[in-house]
Amino acid sequence: MDSTSSSRNGRATRSSLACLPCRSRHVKCDGKRPCCARCAEIGQDCNYARSRRGGLDRAALADRRRRLAANDRTSPAPDSSRQPHTRTQQVQEHTTPAMAEDLRHEPNERISVSDVILGVSFPDAGIAQPDDIENDFLINAYYEKFHGCHPFLLPRKHLSRLYQDPHRQSSFTPLLAVMRLIGHIYTSHEWSTSLRDHIEACFLQASPSDPIMVQSRFLFSMALFWHDYKDAAKLEMDAATSLAVDLKMYLSDFAASHGRDDPVLRECWRRTWWMLYIVDAYYTGTLGTMNFRVVDIAATVDLPCEEREYESGDIPEPRTLQEFNCREFSAEPIRFSSFAYLIGAVQCAASAIAIAPKIATKGDSTHVIQAADCSLDGWRLLLPNDRKQLMDKDGKIDELMFQAHLIIHVSTIGLHRPFSALKFNAVEHVSSCAREPPLDTPIPDLVNVHTVRVLRAVEAQIRLLALPVPEFHHTPFTTCMVSEGTLALLSACSALFKGTQLSTARDQIRMTLGCLKVLGEVWPRIARNVREIQTIAQTVLGIGPVGKNSMTPSSSAGPSFGGGEDGLDLFTCVPSNDTTNSSSLGSIEDLCGWYSLGELSDLPWGMGSES
């Protein structure tokens, strides 16, 4: 079927070649010759670029494909972590600069590196010039969809300006490759093997000590992790952390020496360290399998500024961490950025968990209230009034403060639930790293204190999720913070709530799963977590025959959030024999590690696992 043909059911298919006018405007083109429909409609000259590929007829292409397939059959199988030392080296040896440029393709196109090596053509529409960052479709998608969740890379205009320097382009190449992968994920809702291979080839060619590789690797780690490449994600995060520590990025001198006379670049390096610190904490809280390696490092790097200041390039004199940690003694209010408060929230959570006992007993109940709570309450009580308002008058949410509040709430839930009346259901403890509930029951008065603490934190989470926004759009790390509140709420539905309270809580669970389902449309790991929460909810609420017969939530139709008077459709189950895609209770350790870190006694960041 050629580029002008249609599918059998009458729907137009994507053209494999766009005309130059349509490409320049980044619009769809039907590829008709001599003039496409869009150019014909507006009376514009229509012309096409000469193909940069060719030289291989169908027979030659088929022969090269056969040889590649034979090589694949005789080559050893790669390990699960997909280390970039086998296939990627072959790609690097055979890929020319022009071929590498071809990897920057339009989303929804499944192009393999082998196709590029063989010279197989793929759609030209939407391909940006290598130095045209501001008009790069995938780079734009990265900034629009992901940058606000983790704003540590250079602002788009500043990055574009620095990239114009030929001496810097090679340093930025691996970072841009990762940004394009994330942009592709958000625009197409699918993984790209060819873009991943291109990233790994870029990593091999990059200088291993270039600080940009810290950004590249831990950004790549996040994309890998939420697409369920957990082992590879850990390797990339470990490499990024090791390099950052080796470079002493945590010292204030680093930003000054590597930022030269560019205040935006210096701010970028400060943000890079602190975002590494935050994401390292997120990993540890999510799974409990990635050590919080930087928590005890005495960082002297200054705090980031406000987002609008960073974007505008008008960077003020930075505040210090010491100023933030002594803000309660300041006679005059000192204004700190949202980024600073997020850093403070992570610090408070780590401090509170470090104080909490590894194995909870009755006597520890008072200790948690008197000591661990002080850190979390201090963060909340010292918040300026304007920081308590997460949404501005235009309806925009402060993403960094959103994350900060979630961290405080999930820490509170994890600390207090083991001592509360919100008991853990057995289905929550299938995880190998979860602990059994404490044998001793705290005295009744303290049980009530802990229970109220948990329920108020859950209510605060619900209020955050219920903010009126056109689209639920947050960092994927939101999912495990929200999951712990959902599990506590399910316990309350089972043990405490009746009547109107129960009905309201069920609506809140429905809304929470709806929010996570939106994120799951982009990140497969979140979609799996949603199915696991559904499975737990079915058991806790006694809905549906969940047990040994592999009864799992339907992965084909997904949960329905609108039908059913009592919401039973939210947890509808169907039999499943698919061991690959079904929600296995054996993998629930990945569901919410914020409270299931009990077996890792050497971690200071065991979110609520002391059950």
Residues 294 and 423 in one domain: no
Check pLDDT > 60 for residue 575.
no
Residues 228 and 313 in one domain: yes
Of 299, 316, 344, the position where a domain reaches its end is 344
Q: What CATH number corresponds to the domain at position 21?
A: 4.10.240.10
Q: Are 84 and 102 in contact (CB under 8 A)?
A: no
Whether 62 maps to a domain, the answer reads no
Check pLDDT > 60 for residue 584.
no
Domain span at residue 25 reads 15-50
Residues 144 and 261 in one domain: yes
Domain count across the chain: 3
How far lies 271's CA from each of 215, 254, 267, 275, 401, in Å? 10, 12, 6, 6, 15
Tokens encoding 360: 């909870």
Residues 196 and 308 in one domain: yes
Write the burial class of residue 191 (CB in 10 Å: 0-12 exposed, 13-18 middle, 19+ buried): middle
Tokens encoding 22: 């349509």
Residues 311 and 368 in one domain: no
Whether 254 maps to a domain, the answer reads yes
Residues 336 and 363 in one domain: no
Q: What was the pLDDT predicted at 360?
A: 67
How far lies 227's CA from each of 269, 479, 526, in Å? 27, 14, 9
Give per-residue pLDDT as tens, 57-100.
Answer: 445 545 655 665 565 445 444 343 444 443 344 434 444 444 44
Q: What was the pLDDT predicted at 68?
A: 53
Residues 327 and 360 in one domain: no
Residues 376 and 404 in one domain: yes
Of 5, 27, 50, the position where a domain reaches its end is 50
Whether 111 maps to a domain, the answer reads no
Residues 381 and 285 in one domain: no
Give per-residue pLDDT as tens, 309-341.
Answer: 999 999 999 999 999 999 999 888 889 999 999
Residues 398 and 288 in one domain: no
Whether 488 maps to a domain, the answer reads yes
What is the model's pTM? 0.72
Rounded to whole angstroms, the Cα distance separating 389 from 385 reads 7
Check pLDDT > 50 for residue 578.
no
Whether 78 maps to a domain, the answer reads no
Residues 167 and 301 in one domain: yes
Whether 606 maps to a domain, the answer reads no
- Neighbouring CB atoms inside 10 A of 374's CB total 14
Phi, psi of 104 (to 5 degrees): -85, 80
Q: What was the pLDDT predicted at 204?
A: 94
Tokens encoding 198: 């291109």
Rounded to whole angstroms, the Cα distance separating 118 from 462 reads 52
Check pLDDT > 70 for residue 439.
no
Whether 6 maps to a domain, the answer reads no
Whether 576 maps to a domain, the answer reads no
Of 511, 541, 571, the position where a domain reaches its end is 541
Residues 391 and 507 in one domain: yes
Q: Region 387-407: what's the mean pLDDT?
A: 91
